[in-house]
Amino acid sequence: MVLESALAAPDGGGASLALRPDVWIALDDRVTLGLTSSGAARGRLVPDHGVCVHGCVDRLGGVALDARVALGASPWRGVVALHARRLAPTPVALELGVQRRWERGRITAQTAPRLELGLTRRDLDNDEVVHVPLTLSVMVTRRISAGLSSGMRGELTDAFFDTATLPSYLTVTFGAAQWQLDLRVGTDDARAARPVPTMTLGVAAAFGGDGAADSYQ
C-alpha cells in the first residue's frame, strides 16, 4: 500500500495539495495488480492526480488499474494499465510496457518504457504517447538512498524529440524491508518555459510480502 501527498505550484500561483493512494496485491510470484493514483506508479510526478485537498483544478484526478507480470525467466517485467487521465471528462489510455531494475554494489538503475494508446475522448489530446523514464540511485547508508530520475515523454509523431516533455526530479528514500518513506522534488517538464515545481512525499508499507520497494517505483 502506498500513500503519496503532492504539493504543486502551477503558473507561479497558489500551491495545490493532493493525496494519492495506491493499493497493490500480489496474486502470486508472477502477477501483481494495483489500483493507483500516485506519480510513482506513472514514473513521473503528475501533479494533477489524486484526491484534492486544496487548490487543485479537479476534486478527483487521474487513476489507473495496473498489472505487472513476470516474463518467464527474463529479468524484465511486463506492465499493462488502464489509465484514466481525468475523471470528468474521462480520457482513458491503455499503457503497454516493460520494467527492469539493475543493481551493482551501491548503485541501482531502473527503467520502465511504455506506450500509451488513447482509447476514449481523443478530442482531449488523448493521443498515442511514448514515455521512457530512467532512474539512477545510490545507497548512501543501509537505510538511505538518493537518486535522480529523468527521461522523455511525448506524442508518437515525427516531431517527438522537438515536442517531448522532460520529467525530472530528485529522490531521497528512507526505509527498511517492509516500509519506505520517499521524498521527490522536481517538475513534470524541465523543458517548459515555466516548469511547475512539484514535491511529493510517499509512504509505502508491505503486508505479508517481501518488501515495499517494488510497489513504489
Residue 37 sits in a domain whose CATH number is 2.40.160.40
What residues pair up with 135 in beta bridges, in sequence order? Answer: 110, 149
Q: Is residue 122 part of a domain?
A: yes
What distance in Å separates the CA atoms of residue 125 and residue 94, rounded to the nearest whole number?
14
Q: Domain limits at 169? A: 2-208
Q: Is residue 9 part of a domain?
A: yes
Q: Is residue 213 part of a domain?
A: no
Q: Is residue 217 part of a domain?
A: no
Q: Is residue 45 part of a domain?
A: yes
pLDDT at 12: 52
Q: Is residue 181 part of a domain?
A: yes
First to last CA, the chain: 12
Q: Is residue 216 part of a domain?
A: no
Cα distances from 160 to residues 121, 128, 152, 195, in angstroms, run 22, 11, 9, 19
Tens of pLDDT along the chain (217 residues)?
667 777 776 655 567 788 888 999 999 989 999 999 888 888 887 766 888 888 777 778 889 999 999 998 999 999 999 999 888 888 999 999 999 999 999 999 999 999 999 999 999 888 999 999 999 999 999 999 999 999 999 999 999 999 899 999 999 999 876 789 999 999 988 998 888 888 888 888 877 654 444 544 5
pLDDT at 215: 46
Q: Is residue 169 part of a domain?
A: yes
| Grid cell listed for 127 | 493521443
What distance in Å separates the CA atoms of residue 167 and residue 45, rounded to the nearest whole number?
8
What distance in Å separates the CA atoms of residue 134 and residue 70, rounded to the nearest whole number?
20
pLDDT at 13: 57
How many domains would you assign to the chain? Answer: 1
**151, containing H or E segment:** strand 144-155
How many CA atoms lie less than 13 Å away from 104 in the CB half-sphere?
Answer: 4
For residue 122, the 8-state DSSP code is G
